[in-house]
Amino acid sequence: MKKDIQNREDVTLLVDTFYEKVKANTIIGPIFNDIINVDWQTHLPKMYSFWSSILLDEHSYSGNPMSVHIHIGSRTPMTEKEFSEWLRLFNQTIEELFEGSKTDEAKNRAANIARLMQYKIERGF
Ligand code: HEM
């Protein structure tokens, strides 16, 4: 049986494994690698804090993900196709590594945030 997500170390493993898949993905990889040319040294710790704040009550993330993604959407298509691929990779990663109530919460939160993000991008704000 797999363990649930319990601490920042677990979140780090989730985030690192997920973004390895993202980088190698033909649909969304180029957005990170080429269009935005993400600085991974900055992005990964931000994502550890983002997910730890959501799942572990850590309150270590401050930022505005919606405006960041609206900006990305102004530079490259961010449609149903890209979001469903992002979610597919996220769910695949998390199911490979963990199971339990925090794991389910992470999947639900990711799906809800993705839906809201896509909606805001489509509407242009
Ligand atoms: C098609 C889907 C997505 C793409 C292509 C994408 C792409 C990106 C990129 C390129 C960045 C880095 C921006 C930079 O370094 O300047 C970023 C940041 C981020 N993404 Fe996404 N993203 C997607 C979906 C999501 C979803 C669904 C979530 C949340 C569940 C999310 C959460 C974040 C957060 C928290 C940041 C950091 C924002 C900050 O700077 O504070 N992303 N994303």
Domain residue spans in the chain? 8-123
Q: At what angle do helices 8-24 and 80-97 cross, to 10 degrees?
A: 130
Dihedral angle computed from the Cα positions of residues 67, 81, 41 and 104, in that order, rounded to the nearest 10 degrees: 90
Residues lining ligand 1, judged by CB closer than 6 Å?
28, 31-32, 36, 38, 43, 46, 50, 63, 65, 68-69, 72, 78, 82-83, 86, 110, 113-114, 117
Those residues of the chain that have pLDDT short of 70 are 125
pLDDT at 125: 63
Nearest atom of ligand 1 to the alpha carbon of 42: 15
pTM score of the predicted model: 0.97
Rounded CA separation 53/48 (Å) = 8
Protein residue with least CA distance to atom 27, ligand 1 = 114
Domain spanning 8-123: which superfamily? Answer: Globins (1.10.490.10)
Rounded CA separation 52/5 (Å) = 10
